[in-house]
Amino acid sequence: MVRDDKLNLLASAQKPFVEFLRSQKRSISTILAYGKDINQLVEFLADKKITEASSVTDEHLEEFKANLGQQKYTLKSISRKLNSIKTFFKFLKSEGVIDQDPAATISHPTYEVKPPRILSKMEYRALRDSCREDGRIAAIVELMLQTGIRIGEASRLKIDDIKDNDIYIESYESQPARTIPLNKAAKMALDNYLAERAPTKTKIVFVTKTGRPFLARNIRAAINRYFRLAGIENASVNNLRNTWLAYHLMTGTNAVFLAKMAGHKRLATTEKYLAYLQNNKEKVQEREKNRLEEL
């Protein structure tokens, strides 16, 4: 394969790399993150007068890795940036731009993967109580706790997606479409909210008081506020989905079925929760004991 001199310029290779990621159906967030990571590397190398891909060595990449540490990036963030860099240089090699991949020998930093945060029964009851008077947030919290949908999926949910006792989640980027059953609690919370929902022409289920779509960032901010009101510490919106997954696994729900309901592309993503459950169960019990002592 003939080397592409234009692609050999690191700055020129960024756009084709992004196009490659799109062709691989990577998510928008992944493409944006990879693009920023490669731009950061290109700027670092430019300061060293290195502008061509064929001039980059593993030593340069080790220097970049060390520089990230000096800038106080977490080990997890450094590892993620190295993923971007490794993918970038694999792409350049596959295009015949470089003969040797300088990122191949770069090792990822080791760091502890924290177990998923799972709300105890007392915590998610406290969260429900804290937002009970807010019909919109109460419905979103109940929906996430009872169906495990992602925050983005909740923000994109349409009226037509609610089918009697099911909700339909449209495919989005690399996430597959799926239908999830609604239990009584989730159905009741949705019905209560829809009865008081602001009049609007939009088909989006969750809207603002002026009838505009209630964006994911607004949902996150609102639920975080109710976490604080409920006295629940170190919790995030994503933990509602973690809690749904964990409680289903603990009660014996089939992992293959659960993976389908969760929209996981790989069964391993669902199964990893099983390895965390026993350790996390002890932490959940300890949090419940502490909350009881506070009452």
pLDDT of residue 199: 85
| Sign of the C-alpha dihedral computed for residues 267, 273, 278 and 279 taken in this order | positive
Write out the residue limits of the CATH 1.10.150.130 domain(s) in the chain.
5-94
Distance between CA 291 and CA 231 in Å, rounded? Answer: 9
Pairing of strands 178-181, 166-169: antiparallel
CATH 1.10.443.10 spans which residues of the chain? 121-294
Q: What is the pLDDT of residue 42?
A: 96
pTM of the model: 0.74
* CATH number assigned to the domain covering 121-294: 1.10.443.10
CATH of 5-94, one of 3.50.50.60, 3.40.50.880, 1.20.1050.10, 1.10.150.130: 1.10.150.130
pLDDT tens-digit series, residues 77-107: 999 999 999 999 999 999 999 999 999 999 9
CB atoms within 10 A of CB 240: 29
Q: Residue 283 — pLDDT band, cuts 50, 70, 90?
A: low
Closest CA to 8 of 68, 97, 72, 81: 97
Over residues 11-64, the pLDDT tens digits come to 899 999 999 999 988 888 899 999 999 999 999 999 999 999 999 999 999 999
Exposed / middle / buried, residue 177 (Cβ in 10 Å: 0-12, 13-18, 19+): exposed
pLDDT surpassing 50 at residue 2: no
User: What average pLDDT does the segment 184-193 reach?
Assistant: 95
Give percent of the chain with pLDDT exceeding 90.
71
Judged by phi (left if over 0) then psi (alpha if -120 to 50, else beta), residue 167 lies in beta
Distance CA 120, CA 122 (A): 5
